[in-house]
Amino acid sequence: MNKALSTAKPDKEAIIFKAAVKIMTQKGFHKARMSDIAKEANISYGLIYHYFRNKDDLFDTIIHRWWGGLFRLMADMAEQVIPLHLKLMRIISYFLDTYQRHPGLVTIFITEISRSTANLTTDQLHHFKKFMLLTEGVIKEGQKQGILRSDFKARYLTNIFLGAIEAFVSTMVLADQKLKGNAQKERIASSILEVFINGAKHQVRPSNPALTQEASTG
Amino acid sequence: MNKALSTAKPDKEAIIFKAAVKIMTQKGFHKARMSDIAKEANISYGLIYHYFRNKDDLFDTIIHRWWGGLFRLMADMAEQVIPLHLKLMRIISYFLDTYQRHPGLVTIFITEISRSTANLTTDQLHHFKKFMLLTEGVIKEGQKQGILRSDFKARYLTNIFLGAIEAFVSTMVLADQKLKGNAQKERIASSILEVFINGAKHQVRPSNPALTQEASTG
Amino acid sequence: MNKALSTAKPDKEAIIFKAAVKIMTQKGFHKARMSDIAKEANISYGLIYHYFRNKDDLFDTIIHRWWGGLFRLMADMAEQVIPLHLKLMRIISYFLDTYQRHPGLVTIFITEISRSTANLTTDQLHHFKKFMLLTEGVIKEGQKQGILRSDFKARYLTNIFLGAIEAFVSTMVLADQKLKGNAQKERIASSILEVFINGAKHQVRPSNPALTQEASTG
Amino acid sequence: MNKALSTAKPDKEAIIFKAAVKIMTQKGFHKARMSDIAKEANISYGLIYHYFRNKDDLFDTIIHRWWGGLFRLMADMAEQVIPLHLKLMRIISYFLDTYQRHPGLVTIFITEISRSTANLTTDQLHHFKKFMLLTEGVIKEGQKQGILRSDFKARYLTNIFLGAIEAFVSTMVLADQKLKGNAQKERIASSILEVFINGAKHQVRPSNPALTQEASTG
DNA sequence: TATGAATGAGGGTTCATTCAT
DNA sequence: AATGAATGAACCCTCATTCAT
C-alpha cells in the first residue's frame, strides 16, 4: 500500500496540540483537564499519552513553538545588517502576526509564561531572560549608533519597548479581541515604534527641558 | 497604661493575609495550599476559615487591597488640577512604591490578574477595564491640552504607557529583584516618563521624518 | 438578695433544649450544627458545653423526654384497670397530643429514632423494644379477654396498631402539617381505634368470609 | 459459545450499587463514607466517581430503584380490573417481597426517606406524596364500591393501611430480622389485610356499637 | 494505535470540641 | 457563666496517570 496515501490521515499529534492550545487558552494551564483536551481533539484521553509524556510535556511543547519562532527571528536578524527601526518592527510584527494567526499561542505565552513566577520552570525562565538579552542587544546597538539615548540603561529601554508590545497583546487577549485586518495591525505597530523611537532617541538638547519647566510651574 | 500599646494583640487576620500573600507570591494561586498558608501564619488549618470564607475569598481580599489603593489614587487625581506629567508620575510611583513595600501584592497582581483570562472573574475584569479607562482619561486630557499627539488613539498611548510600567515590575518580579533604594526607583520612573512623554508628545513636524529618512537609507 | 427573684432568669438549659429541638427538627441530627443551635438560642456556642456534655448528650436528652413521657403513661396504665379501647386511646392520644404541643419532639422521634438503625444506640433500641413489649402486653390482655382475635400473634396486631399511629404522625411531619384543633385530633384517633378494634376483634365466624367471597366473585 | 454466558464480566456499576446499599443500610446515608463503599466493593476510591456523579447521585439511584418498582406496580394495577383486596395484597407483597430479596433497599427507604424530613429533597417528597395519592385512589375506589366505609376520609384509611405495612418492615429492619420463608410472609400479609379490611369495611349497623357497649361495661 | 476503566494521592472545606480569658 | 478564637480530624471530590485489552 502506498505510504504517502495513508499519511493523508490527520496527524494526531497536531490535532492534540491544537486542542491543547485551545483549551489552555480558555481555562489556563491548571484548570485545563487532559480529558477536556481529549474531548476537544475528539480522541480518547489515554491517547494523549502516546504522543506526549504528560501534561507538562504538552505544555512545554506549546511554549517551545512560541520560543522557537521568536528565537529564529532573533537569530536571523543577528546575521543581517538592518537598521534599528526595522529590527524593532520585526519583533513587534512577530507578536502581532502570531496573535493574528494563533491567538491561543500568544495568550498562553502571556498568561502562563510572561507573568507567572509560579509556573516558570528554570528552563522557561532561561528562555525569557535570553530573549530579553537578545532584544537588549538590539537596543544597545542602537545606542552605540547614536540613534538611541545612552543616558538610560539599555535594559530600561528594552523594558519600555517590550512592555508596550505586551500591553497591546494583553489587552486584546483579555478582551478576547481579534486584530481587525492589517490596517489595524500596522497602526498599532507604528504607534509602538514611533513613540518608542521618538521617546528614546538621542537628544541633542539637555534631557527634558519642557518637562522640567512644567514641573517647576506646576 | 496606654491600652493601644499594651494590646500588642496579634491580629490574626492580618497575619493570615500576609502569609497568604507570601505563599501565593511564591507558588501562585493554584499551587498555594491552604495548609501552606496556615503553616506560614503559624496557625491551625481551620482558623483561616474563621477569617475568610474560602480560598477565593482570601484571594479576592488580597486583590481588593491592590485595586483599592489604585482607585483611590485615580479618584484623588481626578479632583485636582495637576499637570499631565505629574499625574503619570503618580501612577508610575504607585506601582513602584507598592512593589517596594509589598512586592508580593504586586507580584500577585501581575501574575494572577493582569494577565490571566482564565482566572479572571467578571469582577476582576471589570476593575481592570475601569483602570484602563481612567488612565485613558488622563491621556485624553493630555491630547486635548496639546501636550500629547492626537494622531494616535488615546487607547494606544495608554497601552504603551502602562505596558512600560508593567514590564519593569514584571522583570523584577520574575527575577525576584528588589528595588535598590529610591535612586533606582527614580531612575526607572523618569525613564518611563521621559521616553513616553517625549515619544508621545505633540509633533510640530510631520510624523517621524528621522525615522523615514533612516528607513530610506537603510 | 432574694433567690426566688433572681431565678426569674430564663433557664438557659431549657432555652438550649428548645433550640436544639427546633434545629434538629428542621435539619435532622446530622445536619444540625452546634452553632445553629447556639444562634437559635441566642447564646455563644461554647455555652452549650456547660449544660450538655456534647452533641450526642443533647440529642439523648431530647429523646429521653420523649421516652420518659411515654413510659410514664404506660406505667400509669399498668397499675389501673381500664378497658382495652381506652388504653389504646391513651396511647394514640399521647402521640397526637405531644405532636400538638411539641411537634418537633415527635418529628425527631419519628425521623431519628423510630426509623433509624444507623443512629440507634443500644440504649435507644432498648427503649424502643421495651415500648413495643409494653404495647404488646396491652394487646395480649385484649386477646386474653376475648376482645381481640387470638389467631394472629399479638406482635402482629401491635405492629398494625402502632403503625397506624405512626403513619398519621409521619404524614403530618412530612407535610409540615399542624393538627387543626381537637376535632381533627378526635377524628383521627377514632379512625385508628375503630378500624383497629373492628378489624382485630374476635371473630365469631371463620376468619374472613366476606373477603373469600368477594375474591371468588372478583 | 454463548456470549451472554461467557461475559461473566463483573459489571462494576452493579457491584458499587450493591456495596452502597449495604453500607448505607448499616451506617445510614450520613455516616456512610465513600471509602467504605469502595472498600466493600473492592475497588479503588475514585472508580465510584466513574459510575456515579457523587454521593447524592449514588443515593438517588438507590432510591430511584425503589420508587421505580413501586410505581410500576401501581401503574400496572391501574390498568386492570382487580378486586380491592387483591390490589391491597399486591402493595403489601411489594414491600415484603422486596424486603426479602433486598432488605437493604427497604431499609434505606424506611430509614432515610419514609421518615426523614431533613434529608427529603423536593423530588423525594414528591414521589412520596404521589405514592400516597395512588394508594388513596385504590382506597377511594373501595369506598365507592361500598366495600370500605365512607365515614372516614380515604386519606385516613390510607394512613392506617400503609402504616401497618411500614410497621412490620420497620420492626424487621430495626431488629435486623430476616423474613423466615414464605409462610411467615403470608401470615404477615394476611394479618395486615384482614385486620384492615375487616376494620375498615362498610358497617351495616351504626358506627361501633360493640365498642360503645364494652366501654360502658368496662 | 486506540480505548476508557481503574487507581489513589492531594487538597479544600466543615464542624464538634477545647480553652484562654 | 459566658465568649468565641483556635484546633485538627474527617471526608468528599478531582484529575493526572497507568494499564489491560
Which has the higher per-residue pLDDT, D73 or D5?
Answer: D73
Which has the higher per-residue pLDDT, D1 or B165?
Answer: B165
Which has the higher per-residue pLDDT, C55 or D4?
Answer: C55
Interface test with B, best of A180, A198, A205, A212 (most B CBs within 10 A): A198
pTM beyond cutoff 0.95: no
Q: Model confidence over A131-182: pLDDT tens digits?
A: 999 999 999 999 999 999 999 999 999 999 999 999 999 899 888 899 989 9
Which residue in D163, D166, D63 sits closest to D123, CA to CA?
D63
Q: Model confidence over A177-215: pLDDT tens digits?
A: 999 899 999 999 999 999 999 998 887 654 454 444 444
In the structure grid, which three cell numbers stand for residue D81, read together? Answer: 380490573
Question: Is the confidence at residue A36, as pLDDT, over 50?
Answer: yes
DSSP C156-175: HHHHHHHHHHHHHHHHHHHH
- Neighbours of A (≥3 Cβ pairs closer than 8 A)? B
Q: Model confidence over B125-149: pLDDT tens digits?
A: 889 899 999 999 999 999 999 999 9
Q: Model confidence over A20-29: pLDDT tens digits?
A: 999 999 898 9
How far away is chain A from the Cα of B104, in angstroms, using its nearest Cα? 11
In the structure grid, which three cell numbers stand for residue C152, read together? Answer: 394472629
Kindly report the backbone phi and psi dihedral angles of residue B148, in degrees, each rounded to the nearest multiple of 5, phi listed first: -105, 145
pLDDT of amino acid C109:
86
Q: Model confidence over D189-209: pLDDT tens digits?
A: 999 999 999 998 887 654 454
pLDDT of amino acid D7:
44
- What single DSSP character describes residue C178? P
pLDDT of amino acid C209:
46
Q: At what angle do helices B84-101 and A209-217 cross, to 10 degrees?
A: 90
Q: How far is CA C189 from CA B31, C97, C193, C206, in A?
A: 64, 11, 6, 29
Average pLDDT over chain C, rounded to an integer = 87
Cα(D66)–Cα(D77) distance, integer angstroms: 17
Q: Which nucleotides of E are covered by protein (CB under 7 A)?
A: 1-20
Q: Model confidence over C21-37: pLDDT tens digits?
A: 999 998 989 999 999 99
Q: What percent of chain B has pLDDT over 70?
A: 85
Chain D residues within an 8 Å CB radius of C132: 171
Cα(C146)–Cα(C119) distance, integer angstroms: 39
B146 φψ region: left (φ > 0), alpha (ψ -120 to 50), beta (else): left
Q: Which residue is nearest to nucleotide F3 (CA to C1')?
A: C44
Question: Is the confidence at residue D99, as pLDDT, over 80?
Answer: yes
Across the interface, whether the CB atoms of C168 and D188 are under 8 A apart is answered: no
pLDDT of amino acid B203:
72
Burial environment of residue D130 by CB neighbours within 10 A (0 to 12, 13 to 18, 19 or more): middle
Which has the higher per-residue pLDDT, C8 or A119?
Answer: A119
Q: Which nucleotides of F are covered by protein (CB under 7 A)?
A: 1-20
Q: Which residue is nearest to nucleotide E15 (CA to C1')?
A: C33
DSSP A103-125: HHHHHHIIIIIIT-TTT--HHHH
3-state secondary structure D51-112: HCCCHHHHHHHHHHHHHHHHHHHHHHHHCCCCCHHHHHHHHHHHHHHHHHHCHHHHHHHHHH
Question: Is the confidence at residue A117, as pLDDT, over 90?
Answer: no
pLDDT of amino acid D213:
42
* CB C146 within 8 Å of CB C201: no
* CB D103 within 8 Å of CB D25: yes
Q: Model confidence over B8-24: pLDDT tens digits?
A: 456 999 999 999 999 99
Query: Does the C-beta of B48 come within 7 A of strand F?
Result: no
Summarize the confidence of residues B112-125 as an average pLDDT: 70
Cα(A85)–Cα(C95) distance, integer angstroms: 93
CB nearest C214 (choices: D85, D157, D198): D85
Burial environment of residue A51 by CB neighbours within 10 A (0 to 12, 13 to 18, 19 or more): middle
SS3 C78: helix
In the structure grid, which three cell numbers stand for residue B194, read together? Answer: 521621559
Q: Which residue is nearest to nucleotide E2 (CA to C1')?
A: A47
Across the interface, whether the CB atoms of A167 and B173 are under 8 A apart is answered: no
Q: Counting every residue, how long is chain A?
A: 218
Separation between the CA of C5 and the C1’ of E20 (whole angstroms): 33
By mean pLDDT, which of B57-61, C50-54, C121-125 is the weakest? C121-125
Cα(A80)–Cα(D216) distance, integer angstroms: 122
Query: Does the C-beta of B45 come within 7 A of strand F?
Result: yes
Cα(D148)–Cα(D84) distance, integer angstroms: 9
pLDDT band for position C16 (cuts 50, 70, 90): very high
How many helices (H) does chain C have, and how many strands (E)? 11, 0
pLDDT of amino acid A120:
64
DSSP A11-73: -HHHHHHHHHHHHHHHHHHHH--HHHHHHHHTS-HHHHHHH-SSHHHHHHHHHHHHHHHHHHH
How many helices (H) does chain B have, and how many strands (E)? 11, 0
pLDDT of amino acid C215:
39
Query: Does the C-beta of C49 come within 7 A of strand E?
Result: yes
Q: Do chains C and D touch (3 or more CB pairs under 8 A)?
A: yes
pLDDT of amino acid D205:
53
> Residue C146: what residue type?
G
Query: Does the C-beta of C35 come within 7 A of strand F?
Result: no
Q: Model confidence over D28-70: pLDDT tens digits?
A: 999 999 999 999 999 999 999 999 999 999 999 999 999 999 9
Q: Model confidence over D111-168: pLDDT tens digits?
A: 887 666 666 677 778 898 999 999 999 999 999 999 999 999 999 999 999 999 999 9
Summarize the confidence of residues B181-207 as an average pLDDT: 88
The CA dihedral of C185, C191, C193, C195, to the nearest 10 degrees, is -170
Place of cell 496639546: B146
Separation between the CA of A76 and the C1’ of F17 (whole angstroms): 41
Cα(C185)–Cα(C162) distance, integer angstroms: 16
In the structure grid, which three cell numbers stand for residue D152, read together? Answer: 372516614
pLDDT of amino acid B212:
44
Summarize the confidence of residues B45-65 as an average pLDDT: 94
Q: Which residue is nearest to nucleotide F7 (CA to C1')?
A: B44
> Residue A55: what residue type?
K
Q: Model confidence over C117-175: pLDDT tens digits?
A: 666 677 788 898 999 999 999 999 999 999 999 999 999 999 999 999 999 998 998 88
Interface test with C, best of D159, D165, D213 (most C CBs within 10 A): D159
Q: Counting every residue, how long is chain D?
A: 218
What are the E-state strand segments in B42-180? none
Across the interface, whether the CB atoms of A194 and B174 are under 8 A apart is answered: no
pLDDT of amino acid D66:
92
Q: What percent of chain B has pLDDT over 90?
A: 71
Dihedral sign from CA coordinates of D113, D114, D120, D125: positive
Q: Model confidence over B69-95: pLDDT tens digits?
A: 999 999 999 999 999 999 999 999 999
pLDDT of amino acid D23:
96
Across the interface, whether the CB atoms of B197 and A199 are under 8 A apart is answered: yes
State which residues between 53 and 72 of chain B bring their CB within 7 Å of strand E. 54-56
